[in-house]
Amino acid sequence: MLFSLLCGAATVVTATASTLVTRVSQYVPVDAASSILAPFVSFSIEFSSFPDFAGNKSQPNKFSNQLLENLGHIQGVQPYIRVGGNTQDFALYDANLETQINGTVIPSLSEDYPSIISIGPSYFEAYDTFPGVKFSHGFNLGKNTTEGLNTLLATVPLACKALSHGNFAHWELGNEPDLFNRQVRPKNWKESDYVEEWLSKSRIIHRQLMRACPHLAHEYNYLAPSFAGTANGLDPVKTWQAGIDSDADIKLNSMHNYMGGADSPGVTLARTLMNHTAVVAKVQSHVAVMKSLEAKGLAKGVPYILGEMNSLYHQGKPGLSNSFGAALWGVDFNLYCASQNIRRTHMHQGTNYRYASWQPIETNKTSIGTKAPYYGNAFVAAMLSVGTNRSHADVQVVNLPMEQETESAYAAYVDGKLSRIGVVNMQQYNYTVDTGSTAVVRPSTSYQFHVPGISSNPIPVRRLMANGTDSITGITWDGWSYNYELDGGNPVRLSNVTIGETVQADTDGIIRVELPLSSAALLSFGN
């Protein structure tokens, strides 16, 4: 049986066949989304956590670097990293600080990151530890004080010199300023006020950059406006109308997204994360912004991305955000984004964060290690790969409608031709073994895809698997484990997981593939 060796004792019984036969074109449909920006799979790292994730020149974090290299190998391009988040707007510069960062946690504000932060000159050594990775550096906009301005003046030269080695991607000024009028600005602070301040300080950055790193002038660009969402405070459309791109220096229209709050009532895996209907609703709020901007002739030619996103804000919820179910959510959410003209996503990370793809260091709260969401990152990277040894490839994604809100499927086209189909089953299956000797039965569902004119060649199938929805360990992608405990994050092929599976189309061009509940599969067509 194909699934007899799936990370544990669970076995698969006869599949329930889906009544839907999904038609898939061999060539990219005319209404397909725009090509993704490679790398699509990218990350955002909390400003205060960046030294933990990256280390410094004398002690680089080799584990983090290995995990990034894995994804770079899979998708053909190393992930980009945006360094920012709430704490970028807390950080003040101290030229005499001998450590990279000094932070004080104020539990009444947050137990997950420091709310009083000083960074020293060595903070910027972290940008030298990930070869081949490009970074976006986040400047402090929140501190509208003399010390905030002095920090801006002092850190521009340090940041630009650290990002002068082919590792610069973008600048960012302020994190989620649409929420500033709740705490750090007057309540009547509006879009035009924000734009006026953003333009003033971005021009200060430009002047400092021209003095310190004039060779970077031709790469001067921003992620902006970096709002928390589409309806949280300031209006993103009004912000563009107010002239945020007056200097034509915004390269990516960056917004943020979370599915809900870790402590919000009614948040569950089934209702909030492993639910394609919920994913569609969240992504469509961004689509509405894109359509409004287009209708008003704004942000022309500026790709829309999610510069920070993950499952549940407030750094995730144990048992949800760190589970295999969250990895499956990550696959569905990212691929649906790609199918709706969201051109790149940066999944947010932080030390001890419950939704993190990996924990970079050992702490008294969390053990160092690769977490469940990372395996979802690997699946998305494989689905959207531009290929190896290629300078460029157009990868477009089409959403393939399914019958149930607990399932989704996507087609990826490379240079106009069908390259991959990804299928996700999000029906919950919580792994337990009874007290007897009989293994728990794990049902599966059969999916059918009609690809007219498809050849009869065997079609490789790679699987994202775990013992169940609630698993936080024992997860594999195509039989690979990236666990820290095995080889420091290097890929290790497990002997107890079935690999090398193939399927074939029948004479009518129908391809059938079975998925155990709570799993995902990727079919590849050889291009």
Residues serving a catalytic function are: 191, 308
**Exposure of 428 in the CB half-sphere (CA atoms within 13 A):** 14
- Please state the φ and ψ torsions of residue 169, each to the nearest 5 degrees: -115, -60
Who's near 314: CB < 8 A, 6+ residues apart?
A: 112, 261, 262, 263
The Cα 482–Cα 167 span in angstroms is 25
**Closest by Cα among 509, 517, 523, 515 to 21:** 509
**Closest by Cα among 158, 154, 159 to 170:** 159
The Cα 445–Cα 32 span in angstroms is 27
The Cα 120–Cα 52 span in angstroms is 15
Who's near 448: CB < 8 A, 6+ residues apart?
A: 17, 18, 20, 21, 22, 510, 511, 512
* Token pair for 467: 């013992």
User: Do residues 39 and 505 touch, judged by C-beta distance below 8 A?
Assistant: no
Q: How many residues does the chain have?
A: 527
The Cα 169–Cα 69 span in angstroms is 18
Residue 328 host element (H or E): helix 324-339
User: Do residues 490 and 481 touch, judged by C-beta distance below 8 A?
Assistant: no
Q: Which residue is associated with the tokens 């509006």?
A: 190
Q: Is 227 helix (H, G, I), strand (E, B) or coil?
A: strand
Contacts of range 300-303, beta carbons closer than 8 Å, 24 or more positions apart: 302/245, 302/250, 302/251, 302/252, 302/253, 303/34, 303/37, 303/252, 303/253, 303/343, 303/344
Q: Is 402 helix (H, G, I), strand (E, B) or coil?
A: coil
